[in-house]
Amino acid sequence: MNGQLSLLVVHFLGLILIAGATVGAWVADGAVFKRLPGDRAGAAALAATLRAYGVAAQLGAAVLLLSGLGLLAVGKWAYWGALWLTIKLGLFVALGMFGGIVGGSSGRKLGALLAAAAAPGGSLDEAAVAKLRATRMSFHYVETVMFVAVVALAIFKIS
Q: How sure is the predictor about 159, in pLDDT bands with cuts at 50, 70 and 90?
A: low
DSSP 82: -
User: Is a pLDDT exceeding 70 seen at residue 1?
Assistant: no
- Round to whole Å and give the CA distance between 21 and 23: 6
H or E element that contains 67: helix 40-74
> Into how many domains does the chain fold?
1
pLDDT digits (tens, 9 = 90+) for 2-49: 888 999 999 999 999 999 999 999 999 999 888 888 887 788 888 888
Residue 109 Cα distances to 35, 147, 152, angstroms: 17, 24, 32
Q: What is the pTM of this model?
A: 0.83
pLDDT digits (tens, 9 = 90+) for 126-152: 888 899 899 999 999 999 999 999 888
**What pLDDT is recorded for position 140?**
93
Segments forming the whole domain that contains residue 122: 2-156
- Round to whole Å and give the CA distance between 101 and 103: 6
**What pLDDT is recorded for position 8?**
92
- Round to whole Å and give the CA distance between 50 and 22: 10
pLDDT digits (tens, 9 = 90+) for 46-89: 888 888 898 999 999 999 999 999 999 998 998 898 888 999 99
CA 33, 120, 105, 68 dihedral sign is negative
Q: Which of 134, 132, 146 is nearest to 18 (CA)?
A: 146
**What pLDDT is recorded for position 93?**
92
